Amino acid sequence: MSSKSLPILPGAKLPILPGATLGILGGGQLGRMFTIAARTMGYKVMVLDPDFASPAGQMADVHLQADYTDHGALKQLGAACAAVTTEFENVPAASLIELASHCRVSPGAAAVAIAQDRSHEKSWLAQNGFATAPFALVYSEGDLDAALAEIGTPALLKVSRFGYDGKGQARIDTPEAARAAFREFGGQPCVLEGFVKLECEVSVVLARSDAGECALFPVAENRHVNGILDVSIVPARVPDSLARQARDMARAIADKLSYVGVMAVEFFIVGGRLMVNEMAPRPHNSGHYTLDACVTDQFEQQVRALCGLPLGDTRLLSPVAMVNILGDRWQNGGPHWDALLAHPAIKLHLYGKETARPGRKMGHFNVLDADPDTALKLAEQMHHAL
């Protein structure tokens, strides 16, 4: 099919069609699943990641084993690829800007710079009228007393950069604890976030094109253990009006950022109201259910948004419960795959990581059933059976 046969929306760029080479910065599991989707659709893929055992590198046509700031590698990536995307938010903005001089890049450096820094993200959300939990910015130890006076305790002190899956944060009950945590974090900028009476956590994964077209996936209800996503239930067991509000707010955030690509927005539900927890400028762990339960999964959607293709259908085909599989499962002779694979409605996805460590995401499985409660019950049973 030629690009002339595809609908081109006003403001959109000419589509990049199968046969072209796509690049991705980052070679973890999200990059792996993007690579599989792109190659299934007929594209070649080049991965830039310093890890020789990169899960995405195993599946790619070319794996550039280099740092994300390596000018030679960036030049090679930009010259070979029609478009480049990212699989994690901590890619240096300068690298995205450098690549953008050679080829199409999405998401853009400006949106990634906001999402990769918690201080910038919270401030941007507040300035644009999106509700968040109470917060104060902490740039030095001298800021802690004023921040605690404003936010109160208990609270959470979170590093502004490079915190994920519960890392880089500490519960604060006293000024002494706040100072100790700040020093433990190396005195780097932090956000002090007030506790809220949490009823539920939900997330919305969406895709937005360069022409402003937006496609939203169903809302996921998320449970966390030790700061790491444990189970996602779809559709979320929340009122329809709240689910609509979450989707509307996520779209408003993407529009305000002029975002291009796949992103996720996480929300707290507090007192029946939505508060934005954080946004991720990439596919999201809570969107892995889409691989088996939606017409289009989030990784095909990432390819479509990057290449300027019409966005795919996001309809939910079946209720689903997604369960993360962490490296802890490899202790004491596990995992017991036979128990999991005995069920024909369970779909297993492993990420090709060589070393299993406690807390490391090694894979996930999706449980599909017409009854969401049945799907969740079986997911919980398999959680223990592994």
**Which CATH number goes with the domain that contains 326?**
3.30.470.20
Question: Residue 3: which pLDDT band, with cuts at 50, 70 and 90?
Answer: very low
Angle between helices 93-100 and 71-80 (to 10 degrees): 40
120 lies in some domain: no
Same-domain pairing of 233 and 377: yes
Tokens (6 digits) for 90: 């901590």
Residue 65 has pLDDT above 50, yes or no: yes
Task: Let me know whether 307 and 212 are in one domain.
Answer: yes
Q: Which residue has the higher pLDDT, 227 or 275?
A: 275
Cβ burial of 244 (10 Å; 0-12, 13-18, 19+) is exposed
Give the pLDDT of residue 181. 92
- pLDDT beyond 60 at 4: no
Q: Can you give the pLDDT at residue 168?
A: 82
pLDDT tens digit sequence for 75-90: 999 999 999 999 988 8
Q: In what order do the strands lie in the sheet with 155-159?
A: 135-138, 190-194, 155-159, 169-172
Distance CA 172, CA 106 (A): 37
3-class DSSP state for residue 268?
strand
pLDDT at 384: 87
359 in any annotated domain:
yes
116 confidence band (pLDDT: 50, 70, 90): confident
Report pLDDT digits (tens) over 232-280. Answer: 999 999 999 999 999 999 999 999 999 999 999 999 999 999 999 999 9
Last residue of a domain, one of 175, 194, 213: 194
Residue 106 lies in a domain: yes
> Is 299 within 8 Å of 291 (Cβ atoms)?
yes
Q: Please give the single-letter amino acid code of residue 43.
A: Y
Residue 35: DSSP 8-state: H
Do 244 and 376 fall into the same domain?
A: yes
Separation of first and last alpha carbons in the chain: 46
Residue among 292, 290, 293, 285 at smallest CA distance from 301:
290
CA 328, 165, 314, 8 torsion-angle sign: negative
Residues 78 and 190 in one domain: no
Residues 178, 299 within the same domain: no
Residue 1 has pLDDT above 90, yes or no: no
Query: Residue 363: what pLDDT?
Result: 98
Instruction: Report, as an integer, the average pLDDT of 177-183.
Output: 92
pLDDT above 90 (res 167): no
**Which whole number is the average pLDDT over 100-128?**
93
Q: How far is CA 37 from CA 13, 31, 81, 383, in A?
A: 21, 10, 16, 27
Decide if 129 is inside a domain: no
Specify the CATH number for the domain of residue 66. 3.40.50.20
Task: Say if residue 272 is in the same domain as residue 373.
Answer: yes
Residue at 126 is within a domain: no
Mean of all residue pLDDT scores within the chain:
93
Q: Supply the DSSP string of 161-223, one letter for each residue.
A: SS--TTTTEEEESSHHHHHHHHHHTTT--EEEEE-----EEEEEEEEE-TT--EEEPPPEEEE
pLDDT at 352 > cutoff 50: yes
Residues 226 and 324 in one domain: yes
Whether 158 is in a domain gets the answer yes
What total of structural domains would you count in the chain?
A: 3
340 band by pLDDT with thresholds 50, 70 and 90? very high
Q: Is the peptide bond before 358 cis (omega within 30 degrees of 0)?
A: no
User: Does one domain contain both 138 and 57?
Assistant: no
Q: How confident is the model at residue 334 (pLDDT cuts 50, 70, 90)?
A: confident
Q: Does 163 have pLDDT greater than 80?
A: no
CATH number of the CATH domain containing 166: 3.30.1490.20
In a domain, 53, yes or no: yes
Which of 260, 373, 349 lies closest to 36 in space, CA to CA? Answer: 349
Please indicate, yes or no, whether residues 72 and 144 belong to a single structural domain of this protein: no
- Cβ-contact 295, 315 below 8 angstroms: yes
Task: Tell me whether residue 31 is exposed, middle or buried, using C-beta atoms within 10 angstroms of its C-beta: 0 to 12, 13 to 18, 19 or more.
Answer: buried
Q: Do residues 228 and 329 share a domain?
A: yes
| 110 and 151 share one domain | no
Which residues form the domain of 140?
134-194
User: C-alpha 378: how far from its chain's center?
Assistant: 25
The yes-or-no verdict on residue 304 having pLDDT over 70 is yes
pLDDT surpassing 90 at residue 309: yes
Q: What is the mean predicted confidence (pLDDT) over 92-105?
A: 93
In this structure, is residue 121 part of a structural domain?
no
Structure-token pair, residue 63: 């794996």
Q: What is the pLDDT averaged over residues 51-70?
A: 96
Q: Are 196 and 270 in contact (CB under 8 A)?
A: yes
Residues 320 and 207 placed together within one structural domain of the fold:
yes
